Amino acid sequence: MSIEQNKQTVLSFFEKFSAMKMNEALALMTDDATWWVAGTFALSGTKTKKQFEELVGGILPVMPQGIKLTAKSMVGEGDKVAVEATSYGKHVNGKTYQNMYHFLFEFRNGKIQAVREYLDTMHTNDVLCS
């Protein structure tokens, strides 16, 4: 796949994730995909696709309108796409989840095979894990 096609897949993933169409978002990932989150809080570490699905499933009930992901810039090289992004969502506890990210997406045969997510872990822990 081309770099531009991989970038479009990232944008499609963000669009589906933001619309809470998790099955469609997850379909853009390989069966053996992994998702790694920086830090040492409850959501950190490497997750399989199934574990990532369960993690997202646990967050969505407390974020009834979902979390909107917006790509701000993207750079691609080979089978990788680096993305600067922001998020926005309202937690049922009244807190606003608004974070900044750097994602590194790796692709295989046109699908996402691995993601590394860097974010403000203290903000995420405060809003999503409190």
pLDDT tens for 47-99 read 999 999 999 988 888 999 999 999 999 999 999 999 999 999 999 999 999 99
Helices (H), the chain: 3-18, 22-26, 49-59, 121-128
pLDDT band at 19 (very low <50, low <70, confident <90, very high): very high
Here the tokens at position 76 are 């691609």
pTM (2 decimals)? 0.95
Instruction: Give 130's pLDDT tier (boundaries 50, 70, 90).
Output: confident
CB contact burial 80-105 (16+ within 10 A = b; e otherwise): ebebebebebbbeeeeebebebebeb
Name residue, tokens 């993933």.
Answer: 13
CATH of 3-128, one of 3.40.50.620, 3.10.450.50, 3.60.15.10, 3.30.1010.10: 3.10.450.50
